[in-house]
Amino acid sequence: MQAAILAVGSELLGTDRLDTNSLKLTAALARYGVALRRKAVAGDSEAEIAAELAAVLPRVDLVLVTGGLGPTADDVTREAVAAALGRRLVFDQATFARIEHRFQAIGLRMPAVNRRQAEVVEGAELLPNANGTAPGMRIAVPGGAVLYLFPGVPFELDGMIAAYLEPWLAERSGGAAAETAVLKVACVPESTLEERIAPAYAEFGREAITILAQPGEIRLQMTATGREPERRRCLAAMSRRLAELAGDAVFTDRDGDTLESVVGELLRQRGRTLSVAESCTGGLVAERLTRVPGSSDYFLGGVVAYTDELKTRLVGVPETLLAAHGAVSEPVARALALGVRRALATDYGIGVTGVAGPGGGSAEKPVGTVHLAVAGPAGGPPESPEDAASEPVVVHRRVRFPGDRERVRRQASQLALEMLRRLLLAPSEVPAAAEALWR
């Protein structure tokens, strides 16, 4: 089956808005194996809409139109479609009653203009809109194509896709559909990860696995097609295999998780607390941690120490260390992590110091150089004698991140959280593991 999409709305032809509805429709089509051949945007113009329909209806099996079903004079999709198909618009009493009722239910009188929304293309099957006044329509076009008219309001469109388009596509595919699963990976270069997972390409097919990279994070996306339960079994097998190949760099298989939410959950499970001391990231690590609702359960606070003096005053970094090694150095990163842990009385402490740029770089410490350290308990569970007695573990990593100030800061915050994640999972292995990150 082949499809085309048409988005209607003059605002979508301006300089700052794109037709994002088409991505939702494309996702639904892709799930049921329908190929999208083209998509177009037309202004609120009968002639343009009709021209597009004339161009695509003979060539595809399915045409999805969004927008232009509103009550105002510039909403002309109904008229344009009727004209293009050589049909009349007819007034539908049941639809009119529905619209009137929607207004009454919220204590309003229906504006006269909304009457237009009860005009339907002759022969169209009406698709009531649970989230708005404009009904959708499904029209079987002579020649075999099916034409859907959907409202353009994204929230209303979501409801229409779920209520009408998906079931219709599912019926035609005989239950076969594509489904995706995801693994998220932190702090491994894309090429390294690709090398590691290469065996899975041969096993599951090159096109079943997609790698999507952003600074410091990679999304491994798997797609399986077919009927339930086969596709679920296939996804589970792929996910297991990829997790095995990618190793402990995988931090979640849930799409809604972020690295900061995963780290937070580990701290919460273990009953541990965290504080951070940041220089070049300027609060970004703390900000990311506190984006997570409920983070006050484990994140107690942090300091942003942009000057040498404040590194000393706030978390006790010895002046001698700063003088001997400079603020961007391993000893200072370690002292920040240990110092904030002590000063704020938390189980774990993170220290970050570096040159985010664009200024401040030198031959020895070029822009992008960042020292990171994480300090935490080496011993048993919280408040056990081993926990209290043992010296803290400190892991350290020096990295030179590529990119501009924003990318350097983003990647540094990511590695800080990833080092903590690994320390939480396997305290004894983390010094070696930290060395391997971002290599």
Would you count residue 213 as binding a second copy (CB under 8 A)?
A: no
**Angstrom distance (rounded) from CA 318 to CA 26:** 58
Q: By C-alpha distance, which of 179, 150, 178 is closest to 164?
A: 150
Would you count residue 20 as binding a second copy (CB under 8 A)?
A: yes
> What's 164's DSSP letter?
I
Would you count residue 72 as binding a second copy (CB under 8 A)?
A: no
- Identify which of residues 111 and 294 has a Cβ nearer to a second copy in the complex: 294
User: Which residues from 44-63 bind a second copy, rule CB under 8 A?
Assistant: 45, 48, 51-52, 55, 59
**Angstrom distance (rounded) from CA 88 to CA 122:** 6
- Identify which of residues 49 and 193 has a Cβ nearer to a second copy in the complex: 49
Which one of 65-73, 97-105, 242-250, 403-411 is the stretch in contact with a second copy (CB under 8 A)? 403-411
**Angstrom distance (rounded) from CA 270 to CA 299:** 13
- Identify which of residues 51 and 141 has a Cβ nearer to a second copy in the complex: 51
> Which residue in the set 147, 160, 303, 317 belongs to the binding site for a second copy (CB under 8 A)?
303
**Angstrom distance (rounded) from CA 267 to CA 264:** 5
**Angstrom distance (rounded) from CA 86 to CA 107:** 39
Would you count residue 15 as binding a second copy (CB under 8 A)?
A: yes
3-state secondary structure of 388: helix
| Amino acid present at 296 | S
Which one of 142-150, 187-195, 306-314, 382-390 is the stretch in contact with a second copy (CB under 8 A)? 306-314
> Which residue in the set 96, 103, 168, 306 belongs to the binding site for a second copy (CB under 8 A)?
306
> Which residue in the set 1, 11, 33, 36 belongs to the binding site for a second copy (CB under 8 A)?
36
**Angstrom distance (rounded) from CA 141 to CA 57:** 8
Evaluate the omega torsion of the peptide bond into residue 318 and state whether it is cis, within 30 degrees of 0.
no
By the 10 Å C-beta count (0-12 exposed, 13-18 middle, 19+ buried), 333 is classed as: buried
* Total of chain residues touching a second copy, rule CB under 8 A: 63
- Identify which of residues 119 and 404 has a Cβ nearer to a second copy in the complex: 404
3-state secondary structure of 91: strand
Q: By C-alpha distance, which of 116, 103, 46 is closest to 79?
A: 46
Which one of 110-118, 261-269, 355-363, 371-379 is the stretch in contact with a second copy (CB under 8 A)? 355-363
Minimal distance, residue 20 CB to a second copy, in Å: 7
Minimal distance, residue 56 CB to a second copy, in Å: 9
CB 45 within 8 A of CB 188: no
**Angstrom distance (rounded) from CA 14 to CA 282:** 37
User: Which residues from 333-352 bind a second copy, rule CB under 8 A?
Assistant: 343-344
User: Which residues from 315-334 bind a second copy, rule CB under 8 A?
Assistant: none
- Identify which of residues 408 and 437 has a Cβ nearer to a second copy in the complex: 408
Would you count residue 227 as binding a second copy (CB under 8 A)?
A: no
Would you count residue 205 as binding a second copy (CB under 8 A)?
A: no
End-to-end CA distance of the chain: 45
- Identify which of residues 143 and 385 has a Cβ nearer to a second copy in the complex: 143
Evaluate the omega torsion of the peptide bond into residue 229 and state whether it is cis, within 30 degrees of 0.
yes
- Identify which of residues 294 and 382 has a Cβ nearer to a second copy in the complex: 294
- For 412, half-sphere exposure in the C-beta direction (CA atoms, 13 angstrom radius) is 39
Would you count residue 149 as binding a second copy (CB under 8 A)?
A: no
Minimal distance, residue 357 CB to a second copy, in Å: 7
CB 373 within 8 A of CB 336: yes
Would you count residue 299 as binding a second copy (CB under 8 A)?
A: yes
**Angstrom distance (rounded) from CA 437 to CA 431:** 10
> Which residue in the set 406, 426, 429, 435 belongs to the binding site for a second copy (CB under 8 A)?
406
Give the footprint of a second copy on this chain (CB under 8 A): 13-16, 18-20, 22-23, 26-27, 30, 36-43, 45, 48, 51-52, 55, 59, 276, 278, 281-287, 289-291, 293-296, 299-307, 309-310, 313-314, 343-344, 357-359, 405-406, 409
